[in-house]
Structure 1
Amino acid sequence: MTKKTFINAILLGAACLLSAHATAQGYPNKPIKLIVPYAAGGPVDGVARGYAERLSKEWGQPVLVDNRAGANEVIAADLVAKSPADGYTILWGADPTFSTNQFLFRKLPYNPLTDLIPVTRVTFVNMALIVDGRLPVNTMKEFVALVKANPGKYNYGSAGAGSAVHVHFDAFLRQEGLSMPHIAYKGIAPAVQDMLGGQVHAMMAGITAATPHLASGKMKILAINGNKRAKMIPNVPTFAEAGFPNTQSYFFIGLTVPKGTPRPVVDAIVSANRKVLADQTFVEKTLDPYAFEPQADTPEQFAAFLVTDRKLAEKKVREAGALLDN
């Protein structure tokens, strides 16, 4: 390398750093799009809208929710991956984007490992084991005994093949040596409706799938994931308290941006997320009703979490035999 070439390389690098710094200094100075991979009206969308509203106050700029549902988050993730790397298009992604889709699809229109930068987790969602209120059980042990005594008689529903609802229940059945047919729906809402109608006997899902129907006895929540009980259902034990410490049922929501987004912009998003989640009024109003636990990872912490989560996701998807583009 000549002296002139070396000097030009240094100047170019300095210019890039100054440009990134200038971008971060002025970020954000226009509306931001929060791409949500689910249809409006569900719990994930509801939390996203509350989050966007609080983030708007933090930044002094509109944060607009843009629902791009379909293909197990692939449509939304691909849109963000191909967006300008300037921090103004952010994906509100869950397990499919970050961990499971690479094992559920033979081919994706983007590379989830290189085309998107994991920024931070926002929430960790503990799911519960929910059963039809007509089942003669009130505890996890009674449920396992009932299913074990009647292999194949009772079924479970999910929000779709390969969804967290599916793979976590499948793992639970394998763990306990149980046999239950799987019914895959397009979303959790139709599965809930069929449980109310008696066609579905059990599911792993967020507690809001059941809470409107607990008082009437149409549904029961037997246990919930996590290290502590949910504030909204304090009488429901954790899986460990119910005698099943190895049972896991969860999903998480995190933010991701296109590769090439300047690190100062990523850091600005991380900082804003931390401030939003430190607002106890926001947490109590927006997260607690859904049993969503606030997170505030750095990009490095999020990336380290994903290394472990992707290994677990691959194992559970392979064992469940789920494939979405066969």
Structure 2
Amino acid sequence: MKKFSIPVLRARTLLLAGFTAAGALAGSHALAQAYPTKPVKLVVPYPAGGPVDGVARGLADRLAKIWNVPIIVDNRAGANEVIAADIVAKSAPDGYTILAGADPTFATNQYLFKKLPYNPRTDLIPVSRVAFVNMALVVNGNFPANTMKEFVSVVRANPGKYNYSAGSGTAAHVHFDAFLRQQKLDMTHISYRGVAPALQDLLTGQIHATIGGITTAKPHLASGKLKLLAINGSKRAKSLPDVPTFAEAGFPNTEAYFYVGLAVPKGTPKAIVDAIASANSKAVSDPTFAGKTLEPFAYDALSETPAEFEAFLVEDRAKAEKKIRDAGASLDQ
């Protein structure tokens, strides 16, 4: 019997591998071309009405028009985004379940909890950030300060007298705590489960201050029930031209922000991941989306490739780890 020589076998093996790789590439391309063919679920880790939900719903509206399929917003609030992130991490990796999460999922929870039901670094694929939210220092309208320097002076002269609201472990909590330690101020942290009850107590004066997105605060500025002392960002917000940035107010080392980003379960084909990122880019560049969902609340549109988002997270996670360890914060029971 004639035997194949080793060189012939190797040549045939390489040829077969080439056909296999080409077939896989063609199949992946075809998959992306067809996606999506049915409704897509956008899982939001917060109740309806908050800033992350607002961004997600604005995005869902644009994606529905881009893809010509329904986009279902599924609010799964609780556990500092862990519930929603776990649902997505354990979903089928087919692009039909997408997480619209924020800093807790992508950066902080891994340092706030000793154990999570999923691995945030390996069980979720970062797709792209959607929006960068510049947060502001908000005080009750009767608080005896109208500027950042006055705020620091009042709090410093009355250690322990004043309090601030933020959900434990949230971006607001981490940033406010870092600000207090930086300025050597003593305020009491009051944790709330949601924006609505915290806002109600801030309006009535039971809570004196908070750092947060301006979505819920803005309607109460004209009446004087709330005051914005400064806002994050390299320049003033278009919708709040009279509110200085932290740097303009004399605090260039203060930062307060969070971001909304998309993620899908591990194993999702790269072609679909790239297709979602591309659709996000089209959505956030739409003037209607920016004008209605982002600009009124001092949000900046973001459009990234998955690789760019991953590169950002390397730096952001390092910053989050330091802030949380400095604060000694933990969400473990």
Q: TM-score range by the shorter chain?
A: over 0.9
8 Å contact from structure 2 (residues 45, 83) kept in 1: yes
Name the counterpart of 2:57.
49
Whether 2:86 is the aligned partner of 1:78: answer yes
The CA RMSD over aligned residues, in Å, is 1.6
Whether 2:168 is the aligned partner of 1:161: answer yes
Q: CA deviation at 1:52?
A: 0.3
1:56-205 superposed matches below 5 A: 56-158=64-166, 160-205=167-212
Q: Deviations over 1:45-77 (max 9, x none)?
A: 122112101111011111111111111111111
Instruction: Specify the code of the residue in structure 1 equivalent to 2:252.
Output: P
Q: Deviations over 1:257-276 (max 9, x none)?
A: 11121221111111111111
* Cα distance in 2 for residues equivalent to 1:240 and 1:169: 16
* Cα distance in 1 for residues equivalent to 2:256 and 2:218: 17
* Cα distance in 1 for residues equivalent to 2:48 and 2:195: 13
* Cα distance in 2 for residues equivalent to 1:6 and 1:324: 53
Q: Deviations over 1:87-127 (max 9, x none)?
A: 11111010011000101111111111011111111000000
Q: CA deviation at 1:290?
A: 2.0
Name the counterpart of 2:281.
274
> What is the TM-score normalised by the length of structure 1?
0.95
Instruction: Specify the code of the residue in structure 2 equivalent to 1:117.
Output: I
* Cα distance in 2 for residues equivalent to 1:5 and 1:44: 51
Q: CA deviation at 1:40?
A: 1.5
* Cα distance in 1 for residues equivalent to 2:22 and 2:93: 19
Percentage of pairs with the same residue: 66
Name the counterpart of 2:272.
265
1:229-308 superposed matches below 5 A: 229-308=236-315
* Cα distance in 2 for residues equivalent to 1:148 and 1:226: 25
Whether 2:213 is the aligned partner of 1:206: answer yes
Greater Cα offset, 23-32 or 41-50: 41-50
Q: CA deviation at 1:133?
A: 1.1
Larger radius of gyration: 2
Name the counterpart of 1:21.
29
Secondary structure (helix, strand or coil) at the match of 1:16 reads: helix
Whether 2:44 is the aligned partner of 1:36: answer yes
Greater Cα offset, 128-137 or 312-321: 312-321
* Cα distance in 1 for residues equivalent to 2:222 and 2:200: 17
Structure 2 unaligned spans of 5+: 1-5
* Cα distance in 1 for residues equivalent to 2:96 and 2:88: 10
Change (3 A) 1:12 1:79: farther
